Structure 1
């Protein structure tokens, strides 16, 4: 097995909550040394206090914190203290990457902005996450950005209210954008020797991810609306159906051949030949009629049996799983970070390199104020 791709790289994480820490864990999983610099004045990353009712009150590594902090060292500093700032600067001299998530203006006040740190280490790559870009001083919160970017408006049933998604998707989208930017900056530094500033915002990341829903408006002049799990331009795609055993499945029939195969499995091949339903364009125009026909047919089957028949004919379909169901899947098992005596975590790195296996990653660090450590 080859050495981890980022062995001997030092990443300083001046970020909290989910977006920045997700990027830090990404580099940790690929072999980098990641030092999570936590705010000693506030007791560290705020997610250390975000605990479920089932978690001990005194834990400083609750489930939320564990979602994005495997593989790191924790180092608590109060950057308003001259001695602590000097310690950070000493680390900056050795660092390859800094990940920061200060709202505009705050990094400058703390003297940890890109220009300041670049004067210490000209080769430094500095990734900065903001809520709305460097020109807007508002702090970014995932739920607010979900609302402002249109995601909340689009999510939910047609006759229901706008609905926040159950994960901080704007944070995660932003993390992916920052990873990409940092990797491009590393490539540039490899070629030119120059460091750089990489800026990303939650709102811009969210707007970028509107994808076809955005172009439905920009190109086709169609303002998207809430459709539950239905798809605006494909039928049946995302549609959820209940089976005889009270379980649910979803169909993702992307073309007319797949629709004909679906109808064959359900024993209604003539339905696929009907001019109203034979093409996706017409099925979109007759969406409700398609669903009304399919619901009672699917209700006659047990879910696992129907899925087996559909998969055999390469009709895209799957069970609506609970989260416990998900982690029984072999693919999910391979995505777990595991260490003896520690509850599992989830990998940030979902791709596999043919020439490199996953490296072992240390569990999320407990909070360590350096002054307490010195006294101990």
Structure 2
């Protein structure tokens, strides 16, 4: 049995944040009913390449373990069926523009009237502001993420995945589970609201903390860290190597492996504060030695001394590393509609008694 067996989720989510949240819950046993427009479906069904046959790999990546339901919410029959679904559901998830579900008669107050125990999760871009569309790239820009990402302040750069949507989806799933825990104790449902901008500001962690608590507005530093050194990308004899040295012990071990033991006691580098202040000279000294051997050779020797480091991998390398470490990053889902099992990235949550299951491939569009 899954941890969430018996839980019914009415999934009105689209694109990434909502579908990612409901897929995580579906992997853990919930029955997720994905509501889509007949003949059109989720926008991501058309977001390709890459394609798997005639299906978008984007859509496939966030919609497994879901039952299909095609409903025309602009007509009375579709709305009636949607009301029957939310009446029997434990959870509703939606990420329409604010006010849309209210106009359809499927807003929180209407659903709570027929289903008092409902946990109703709304995902928006900016809270209740329906004049601001919530696209991940837009949030990365206006939310400050692009200002601290990239080689320098003159080159604002987006993260290479819709990370704000993913973070918000995780926040939504966490909020839903917290609300369900409250309902288990009291029988009372509630509304869960998350938005992309607030999720990003929370996830910016030390960067937003540095601003709100110390008044420091950060800017892009490339691969460097504002508060730690050495903590960046270094050249080697073949490909780049990341060093992520977080304390003085690790720095001493790094210097030992590199044959630069005098650096560990030099007052310019003996403490992290000193290393940050003298970062440029430190980087030059380290890189002069690092370029004499390959990244994999340094990786092996430095890891043996517990120095956090690693070569710069592409996605294929990353999956291969996880496989070598026994993390089982890829699962295969049998589906009679396809010629071969569908390969997907596994749910990262490991539960010893009620592990994630992969019961069904993403639904075809009805």
Return the TM-score normalized by structure 2.
0.94
Task: Please state whether the residue corresponding to 1:219 is helix, strand or coil.
Answer: helix
Among 98, 103, 108, the alignment partner of 2:97 is 103
Task: Please state whether the residue corresponding to 1:359 is helix, strand or coil.
Answer: coil
1:49 corresponds to 2:46: yes
**Count of matched residue positions in the alignment of Structure 1 and Structure 2:** 359
> Which residue of structure 2 lines up, in the alignment, with residue 374 of structure 1?
none
Stretches of structure 2 lacking an aligned partner (at least 5 in a row) = 335-339
> Which residue of structure 2 lines up, in the alignment, with residue 309 of structure 1?
301
8 Å Cα contact 1:105/1:137 also seen in 2: no
Among 4, 8, 11, the alignment partner of 1:10 is 8
The aligned runs of 1:48-67 (5 Å cut-off) are: 48-52=45-49, 55=51, 59=54, 61-67=55-61
Task: Please state whether the residue corresponding to 2:320 is helix, strand or coil.
Answer: coil
Among 246, 258, 261, the alignment partner of 1:254 is 246
The aligned runs of 1:64-143 (5 Å cut-off) are: 64-143=58-137
> Which residue of structure 1 lines up, in the alignment, with residue 350 of structure 2?
352
CA distance in 1, matches of 2:315, 2:224: 21
> Which residue of structure 1 lines up, in the alignment, with residue 316 of structure 2?
324
> Which residue of structure 1 lines up, in the alignment, with residue 205 of structure 2?
211
CA distance in 2, matches of 1:332, 1:129: 35
Among 113, 138, 141, the alignment partner of 1:144 is 138
> Which residue of structure 2 lines up, in the alignment, with residue 372 of structure 1?
none
CA shift for structure 1 position 332: 7.9
Q: Against the structure 1 CA distance between its residues 95 and 159, is the aligned structure 2 distance closer, same or farther, given a 3 Å change threshold?
A: closer
> Which residue of structure 1 lines up, in the alignment, with residue 190 of structure 2?
196
Return the TM-score normalized by structure 1.
0.92
> Which residue of structure 2 lines up, in the alignment, with residue 181 of structure 1?
175
CA distance in 1, matches of 2:181, 2:137: 33
8 Å Cα contact 2:68/2:363 also seen in 1: yes
CA shift for structure 1 position 361: 2.7
CA distance in 1, matches of 2:115, 2:214: 49
> Which residue of structure 1 lines up, in the alignment, with residue 337 of structure 2?
none
CA distance in 2, matches of 1:44, 1:62: 12
> Which residue of structure 2 lines up, in the alignment, with residue 371 of structure 1?
none
CA distance in 2, matches of 1:277, 1:136: 52
CA distance in 1, matches of 2:251, 2:119: 50
8 Å Cα contact 1:12/1:37 also seen in 2: yes
Task: Please state whether the residue corresponding to 1:352 is helix, strand or coil.
Answer: coil
8 Å Cα contact 1:36/1:74 also seen in 2: yes
Deviations 1:335-368 (A, max 9, x none): 3231242331123x31212223332331111101
Deviations 1:57-116 (A, max 9, x none): x82x31110121011111111111101111111111210111100111111111111111
1:241 corresponds to 2:234: yes
Stretches of structure 1 lacking an aligned partner (at least 5 in a row) = 369-376
CA distance in 2, matches of 1:262, 1:91: 59
8 Å Cα contact 1:310/1:316 also seen in 2: yes
CA shift for structure 1 position 221: 2.4
Task: Please state whether the residue corresponding to 1:250 is helix, strand or coil.
Answer: strand
CA distance in 2, matches of 1:361, 1:294: 50
Greater mean deviation of Cα atoms: 132-141 or 208-217 = 132-141
> Which residue of structure 2 lines up, in the alignment, with residue 300 of structure 1?
292
CA distance in 2, matches of 1:14, 1:135: 19
Deviations 1:243-268 (A, max 9, x none): 21x11110110001110110000001
8 Å Cα contact 1:250/1:318 also seen in 2: yes
